[in-house]
Every structure is written in C-alpha cells, then in structure tokens.
Structure 1
Amino acid sequence: MAEADVAWFADAWERGSIDYYLTLARGISPRELAERLAGGPVEQLPDMTPDDAYVRVDLKSVYTVGRMAVVGGWSLLVETGASYGMHTPPEASRDGVELLVLDPRQDAPPSSFAYLKDGELLLYQPTSSAYDRGGRQPDVLLSESLAAGLVTAGGPTHEEMYAPADGLDRRTIHMLGDRFGLHLPKEIVDEAALPAVVVRTSPPSTW
C-alpha cells in the first residue's frame, strides 16, 4: 500500500466528504466490472471528472455514472449517483473475482464496506464498528481488525461500548488498504477526467 494514497481518502471518509461509491475488483477489467454491476452493456461517455459525473446524473434517464481506472492491480469503478453499494449482488463476483465495495452511505449512516468473492458476500461491516460484521465469513478479516485495534479479543470492553467512535472510520480504511494493497491516489480517484460509462438508467431495487 502507498500510505499517502490511502491517507487522504481515509481522512476524507472520516469527515464525511466522500459522496461517491468505490468498487474495486481483482480478476476483471473496469469495464467488465461496470457491466456486471449494470447487468449488461453500458453506454460509453466522454472522460469525466467527479464534477462532470455529478452534473450528468439527472435521476431521470441517468442514475449512476461510473469513472473507470486500474490502480495497484485492482480495477476501480468510482460511482456517482445511485449505487447498490453494500447491497452489490454477490453474482457480480462470480468466477473467482474479488470485489471490495466502499459505501459512504451519507443518506443513511453508518458507512460500510463489503468484501465479495466467487459469487458470495463474505463480509459486510460498518466502518464505525467491526463488532457488527456479517456475511458468509464474518471473521475473514478478524486478524487484521485485531491488529488494527478495531476489535478486542473476547468482544467489546465496557470502555469500547460507551466510547465515541472517533477515528474508527479512518482506521478501518487504513486496515483495508494494508490488507488488500490498495492504491487510491487523489489525483486519479478525486480529480482526474477518467473514462466514464452510464451504469444505471433506473433506480436500484434497494431504493
């Protein structure tokens, strides 16, 4: 992991200033990732910045615009607008593909992440509490969470149960960055004009 690549994102995430969804895939191209999330072919758009994507989403004929890149061996889709986020269908990770979904959930906190692989949701976890995890293998990142101080062996202490969750979002992103070797350079994720596609032309079924 390039520490600086993740540090800005972790800090912005903790401040609540990330208003897009990140889905990272290992084993398929960015366009195939977009097509799996769209459920079929996607419409190509001109290269777009986050601001361009925001303007393009009208919640009438375009609900989601995805900006695409490859970073650190992961295919990256930055989605502006409506996204499945933590409800990403497990089928999108079929055929041995790994997916990591970072869902800011600004409209319905807490924020969360999901880890899917080979057609299964292995782990869903709010970034504010590693004790509330679920999925087919909820302990798949337990050793990393213990090492990062996100959980305590034997369950939450009395202090943890009543202490504010300050810093947990940021530390969770750093844990994921270390575990998956993530590179999230600000100049790409948050600034660059990237190849873009229309991912959704109608609301997600979770709306």
Structure 2
Amino acid sequence: MIIMTDALTWLAEPESIAYGGYSVVLARGLEPEELAARLAEGLPERTARPLDELTAEDLVEEYELEFAGGIEDIALHHGRSGDLAFAVAYGYWQGELSVRPEVSRGGAEVYHLEFEEENGKPVPPFFSAHRDGREVCSLNLHLDPSWGPGDVQGEPATAAALTAELAAVGLPDHDRAGDDLHRTCLEVLGRHFGLTLPRDLVREAELPALLLETD
C-alpha cells in the first residue's frame, strides 16, 4: 500500500506561499545560512544583506516584495525543519533565481521546487535534485512534453526509480487536471526523497532572511 502525506502537497494550493507562485529550496548537509549564501552566489550582481527575524507576511510588506510590476529585490527566508534546511524566495525570483549543481558541493543534497503561478502561460511546476555538485534528476510536474522533456531526466538509477513510483500512481496522465498532477507529483517526490516543509513554519514563524538587492 502506498501511503501519501501532505508533506509538500500544500504547495499545490493557489497562492500557497505568495501571490505569483513559489520557489522553495530544501537541503541536507547545509545550515540554512549557508544554503541562502550559496543561492546568492548565483546572483553576483546583487548585494546580499542579512535581515533580522520576520514572519513571511512582515518580510513581504516591510521590503515591498509583493508580486507586482516594479519589484526588483529578492529575499530568501530561511530556516530548518528536522534534517532539512530550507530557503523560500519572495520578490523578483521569477527568471532570476536558479539552483545550480554546485550549490550542492561538498556532499550536500539540494532540491528545488518552483512554480510561476502568474506567468501568463500554462507553465508547469518544476523540480530538480542535486547531490555533491551534480544534477541527479529533474522533471516538470505535469510530465508535459510541450514544456521540455515529458519524463524524468537525470542519472539512470534515480530516473528509473522515480519513473516507477510515478507510474504506480497513474502518471503520466495527460487527461488529469494540472492541479491534480501538481499535487500528486509533490506527494511522490516528498516520499521518494524524504522531503517535507511544514506550512505553519513557512507562513507563521519568525525566521531570518537574506535580502538580495539590485545596485
């Protein structure tokens, strides 16, 4: 019997993180501050400024990070849940913030979940996994071949195992609604990689942040 949990599935709800979608990075083998710093390395043209602990709502309001025309800065709200460090992006992350394989250098595991909910096009959510400086796998969560490969890409053993787990819950299935595909893929990914992200911790807790400002 396959037992599903809501460890990640709440991300599939509308505006689960904020209006505009979500960009969430989870990591094993890194402290939250180091995870945020490594993500900032991919945006060298921005100035990184540590912020005091704030709730997500206060962070967005105080630093004007609401998804809308004119925003430029990115904030990485970071913390820990169990053995996982996490960083949640707010502000102008769409098309800017990426997770390169080298973020996982030194034996770390890094997982990126991203969904541009207000893109204007039916862009599916995306997932990538990295380990020790290399990409392990990636896929779009609709398994839609019109948005790049419609299957799991990556190292053969990982891709085969994940493909089998997706098949066990009836995926791919191009007749299913996008939100159902999104939620089901999140269930499978959470179980396969042992990933969880508590909703209350992300949305209600006071956490430190790293503000990435434009010059």
TM-score tier by shorter-chain length is 0.7 to 0.9
- For 1:17 and 1:75, the matched residues in 2 are separated by 19
Structure 1 residues 32 and 3: CA distance shift in structure 2, 3 A: same
Gapped runs of 5+ residues in structure 2?
Answer: none
Q: Which residue of 1 aligns with 2:24?
A: 22
Q: Which residue of 1 aligns with 2:104?
A: 93
Per the normalisation by structure 1, the TM-score is 0.77
Q: Which residue of 2 aligns with 1:110?
A: 124
Structure 1 residues 138 and 64: CA distance shift in structure 2, 3 A: farther
Amino acid at match of 1:177: G
Deviations 1:183-203 (A, max 9, x none): 3211101222211221x2239
Aligned 8 A contact 1:72 1:182 in 2: no
Q: What percentage of aligned pairs have identical amino acids?
A: 26
CA deviation after TM superposition for structure 1 residue 21, in Å: 1.4
**Secondary structure of 1:184's partner?**
coil
Structure 1 residues 175 and 3: CA distance shift in structure 2, 3 A: same
The structure in which a higher percent of residues are helix is 1
- For 2:188 and 2:4, the matched residues in 1 are separated by 13
Q: Which residue of 1 aligns with 2:9?
A: 10
Aligned residues: 193
Per the normalisation by structure 2, the TM-score is 0.74
Q: Which residue of 1 aligns with 2:137?
A: 123
Aligned pairs for 1:20-169 within 5 A:
20-39=22-41, 42-55=48-61, 56-57=63-64, 63-83=73-93, 87-106=98-117, 107=119, 109-129=123-143, 132-133=150-151, 135-137=153-155, 140-149=158-167, 160-161=173-174, 163-166=175-178, 167-169=180-182
